[in-house]
Amino acid sequence: MTDGLMSKAATMEIPINGTGDTSSLPEDDGLEQDLQQVMVSGPNLNETSIVSGGYGGTAEGIIPTSTVKGSFVTSHSSRGPSISPSESAASQIASQADASAGSGLHLPHPGPLAAGDEAARGIAVEKFDIVKKWGINTYKCTKQLISERFGRGSRTVDLELETQIELLRDTKRKYECVLQLARALTHHFYSLVQTQHALGDAFSDLSQKSPELQEEFGCNAETQKLLCKNGETLLGAVNFFVSSINTLVNKTMEDTLMTVKQYETARLEYDAYRTDLEELSIGPRDANTLCRLDAAQSHFQSHKGKYEKLRADVAIKLKFLEENKIKVMHKQLLLFHNAVSAYFAGNQQQLAQTLRQFNIKLKTPGAEKPSWLEEQ
């Protein structure tokens, strides 16, 4: 009996007036109709009961749907008819769907989206394959390098080519030292020329302000100006020498050494895949091993072709570099010797002839581009 009363209290809705007294309110006829509708077709989602006390709570926490029915339901009905989840509504929706299908209207197909997903999946698989190949190649090369360092692995060596490469690296180090010293000479000599120019101006000014020493100051001023002019000519020759050596060392030799680095990488990969092929060749010959052996043979032939091609490229570049180095250095050493000898011998005509012989032109101070003195 107690359970019956609690369930009845939980389902009943008692309207409350503004003063909280329920005895003076008239009986709501719509409540019985609402209950009948709920029993027949289920609850109407547009009318809700808010229970604050929970199941089996007191009647004071219940707000009847009849008090808010007039305001909320009216607002919903103004926007459109409410749809009850009944069998008639379901049949009406199904008939409308059939009518739409019969009229030729179709829902959009996810064709482009599926194609985009397939393309993205293909790109991801391709990138994964690239990373996988790179990882396998790196592992094999690292293993080969460690084996060579510890003396456990064999290494392919071309004695003649290796000797030429080592000679090139040693020559490059020595030429870099010559280039550094020539640049230092240029900077120091430029400072000397600037000092001589300032000293000549000071002597010339004193010759005008000191009548008793005018001749002596004038002679020294002319000498310093002549030395300054010859020094600028020598700086032009030395600067041309520095520029040519810099091109030879940092461009021509460096380009050849870049090819040498590629050759050494190809040699390491070739030895790594050669070792892998040799290890598989001495193993058991089952079906799985034969497949791996065929793949290893294919990789070995590919890296062997790359290694032989780069070895031929390095040999050709070393040959051309040696010929170019001899021509360039023959010209530059002759220029440096003639210019320095003529300057310190005081032979102005020989110094000017040396610059004409090697087609070296000094830029005038009024030229648009900065002179080689300003570039220092």
Per-residue pLDDT of the chain (376 residues; tens, 9 = 90+): 444 444 444 444 444 444 444 444 444 455 455 545 544 454 444 444 444 344 344 444 444 444 444 444 344 444 444 444 445 544 554 555 454 444 444 444 555 667 778 888 888 888 887 887 788 878 878 887 888 788 777 888 889 999 999 999 999 999 999 999 999 999 999 999 999 999 999 999 998 888 888 888 889 999 899 889 999 999 999 999 999 999 999 999 999 999 999 999 999 999 888 888 888 888 777 777 788 888 888 888 998 999 999 999 999 999 999 999 999 999 999 999 999 999 998 888 899 899 988 888 876 544 445 554 445 4
Residues in Cβ contact with 297 at an 8 Å cutoff, skipping those fewer than 6 apart: 277
CB of 159 closer than 8 Å to CB of 194:
no
Amino acid residing at 151: G
What pLDDT, on the 0 to 100 scale, is given for residue 112? 60
Kind plus residue range of the DSSP H or E element containing 51: strand 50-51
Question: How many other CB atoms are there within 10 angstroms of residue 235's CB atom?
Answer: 23
Kind plus residue range of the DSSP H or E element containing 15: none
CA dihedral angle for residue 221, residue 227, residue 230, residue 234, rounded to 10 degrees: -140
User: What are the residue ranges of helices labelled H in 150-158?
Assistant: none
Let me know if 276 is exposed, middle or buried by CB neighbors in 10 A (0-12, 13-18, 19+): buried
Kind plus residue range of the DSSP H or E element containing 366: none
Residue 84 DSSP code: -
CA 313/CA 256 separation, integer angstroms:
9
What pLDDT, on the 0 to 100 scale, is given for residue 36? 53
Residues in Cβ contact with 218 at an 8 Å cutoff, skipping those fewer than 6 apart: 203, 204, 207
CA 161/CA 248 separation, integer angstroms:
21
Among candidate residues 310, 331, 324, the one with its CA nearest the CA of residue 262: 310
CA 338/CA 83 separation, integer angstroms:
108
User: What are the residue ranges of helices labelled H in 12-55?
Assistant: 29-41
CA 327/CA 85 separation, integer angstroms:
98
pTM given for the model: 0.60
Kind plus residue range of the DSSP H or E element containing 363: none
Six-digit token string for 74? 């009216």
Among candidate residues 15, 10, 26, the one with its CA nearest the CA of residue 67: 15
What pLDDT, on the 0 to 100 scale, is given for residue 175? 96
Residue 148 DSSP code: H
What pLDDT, on the 0 to 100 scale, is given for residue 122? 81
Where do we find the tokens 């000293």? 199
What pLDDT, on the 0 to 100 scale, is given for residue 37? 54
CA 248/CA 254 separation, integer angstroms:
8
Phi-psi region at 362: left, alpha or beta (left = phi > 0; alpha = psi -120 to 50): beta
Residue 152 DSSP code: -
